[in-house]
Amino acid sequence: MIVILKPDIPKDAPEVQQVLDLASRYEGVTAKLHVVEGATRSLIEIYLIGSTVTVPVEPFAALDCVERVVRVSAKYRLIGRHKGQLEAVGFQYQGLTFDQDSLHVVPGLCAVDTRDHVAQVFRALSQHGIQTARMGAYKPRTSPYDFQGLGKECLPYVFELAGKYGIRVIAMEITHESHIDEIKAALDKAGSPAGVMLQIGTRNAQNFELLKHVGQQQRFPVLFKRGMGITLEESLNACEYVASEGNRKIVFCLRGMKTNLGDPHRNFVDFSHVPVVKRLTRLPVCVDPSHSVGRKELAPDGLTDIHHATAQGVIAGANMVLVDFHPNPARALCDGPQALTLEELDLYLEDIRIVREAYERRRALAARAAAQAAAPAA
């Protein structure tokens, strides 16, 4: 059960204590407090955990400070919307808003290989007004003999160059909790010129200990990638581990499902799940067309499958696009065949603008239709 307080009541207000005192009267129930920080206001949600089936809603709803009481149906209670009873929750990071209405394009290297390539990517992004990038330092590879990423060695120049080119947020996968400290140390040493969004890759989607670690820290938001071979429900429950440890700055990423039925793509593109995840959860939703499609093949209409998959995600309302770009894909040490070149950035971004505009028009159309349906007949 979730007790939602009226906006802008501070954490230490007597009203909060009043709700906690009431909750303590019910045996086997513990109360956990969460502050939801919105762009313009913050509100407190008090989660009643344990045997709440027999706890009545009315005494809580009757308190002046309470806006609403919601009975929770799904196991992913913090990230869930619970049949539309709760609104989406976004977050601010590095001056940018990540929520179910925003759209950020996050292009960059699958794996950092040279300083020069990092500089070239950041320069191109800044020329296009993009302040978000992906940069892989720690790479989970299928074979131990493949390039494993440069690790902490590349962090000093990645952060220095991010500062130079005005990149505010870098999505960076981590595969072990020690990487969080390495990133923190390198950022602090560089004077924190940029922020990092900690990416949990599909292979670690159910690495519950790693999920708990990224959940226990509040400094970095988390980009959680759906597990490639588990159900959506299982991925949502795994993602809940992050929130349950206290960090609610989460973006949920679709990146395709592993099945031969998706051939010839690397994974079966699952971007029709964008609206599903937006309906089931309060989180912004990202799509990764590069790791979904896995190859840069041209369709007869002159656009690559990666462009088409991107468009499918964006027209369905995706809030973030994580995409591989490389100045020289033939020389990339990881995933070169799916990387777009910097010369292709302009077309790619323009294509996204067209599709986003179409999505916004579709959304406005639906809103008008709903308003008409609700209006009393003349």
Instruction: Single out the residue of 77, 225, 248, 307 in contact with ligand PEP (rule: CB under 6 A).
Output: 225
Q: Which does 202 bind (CB under 5 to 8 A by kind): Mn ion, ligand PEP, none?
A: ligand PEP
**Which helix (DSSP H) or strand (DSSP E) does residue 120 occupy?**
helix 115-127
Q: Which does 201 bind (CB under 5 to 8 A by kind): Mn ion, ligand PEP, none?
A: ligand PEP
Beta partners for residue 251, in sequence order: 223
Q: Does 173 bind ligand PEP (CB under 6 A)?
A: yes
Interior angle at CA 74, CA 67 and CA 239, nearest 5: 100
Report in angstroms how near the CB of residue 87 gets to ligand PEP at its nearest: 28
Candidates 85-93, 197-205, 296-304, 358-366 — which segment interacts with ligand PEP by CB under 6 A? 197-205
Whether 264 contacts 235, CB under 8 Å = no
In sequence order, the 6+-apart residues with CB closer than 8 A to the CB of 40 are none
DSSP reduced 3-state for 224 = strand
Site for ligand PEP in 128-157 (CB under 6 A): 136
Report in angstroms how near the CB of residue 173 gets to ligand PEP at its nearest: 5
Q: Does 335 bind Mn ion (CB under 5 A)?
A: yes
Side-chain-side CA neighbours of 364 within 13 Å: the count stands at 6
DSSP reduced 3-state for 57 = coil
Candidates 33-41, 196-204, 279-287, 366-374 — which segment interacts with ligand PEP by CB under 6 A? 196-204
Binding residues with ligand PEP: total (CB under 6 A) = 10
Q: DSSP per residue over 325-376, as a string? A: B-S-GGG-SS-GGGPBPGGGHHHHHHHHHHHHHHHHHHHHHHHHHHHHHHSP
Whether 23 contacts 78, CB under 8 Å = no
Report in angstroms how near the CB of residue 14 gets to ligand PEP at its nearest: 46
298-304 long-range contacts, CB within 8 A, separation 24+: 303/351, 304/340
Q: DSSP per residue over 290-306, as a string? A: HHHH-S-PBPTTS-BHH
Q: Does 110 bind ligand PEP (CB under 6 A)?
A: yes
Instruction: Single out the residue of 90, 195, 201, 327 in contact with ligand PEP (rule: CB under 6 A).
Output: 201
Candidates 28-36, 201-209, 211-219, 237-245 — which segment interacts with ligand PEP by CB under 6 A? 201-209
Site for ligand PEP in 247-266 (CB under 6 A): 255
Q: Does 294 bind ligand PEP (CB under 6 A)?
A: no
Q: Does 327 bind ligand PEP (CB under 6 A)?
A: no
Instruction: Single out the residue of 22, 69, 110, 154 in contact with Mn ion (rule: CB under 5 A).
Output: 110
In sequence order, the 6+-apart residues with CB closer than 8 A to the CB of 178 are none
Q: Which residues are near Mn ion by CB under 5 A?
A: 110, 335
Q: Which residues are near ligand PEP by CB under 6 A?
A: 110, 136, 173, 201-203, 225, 255, 288, 291
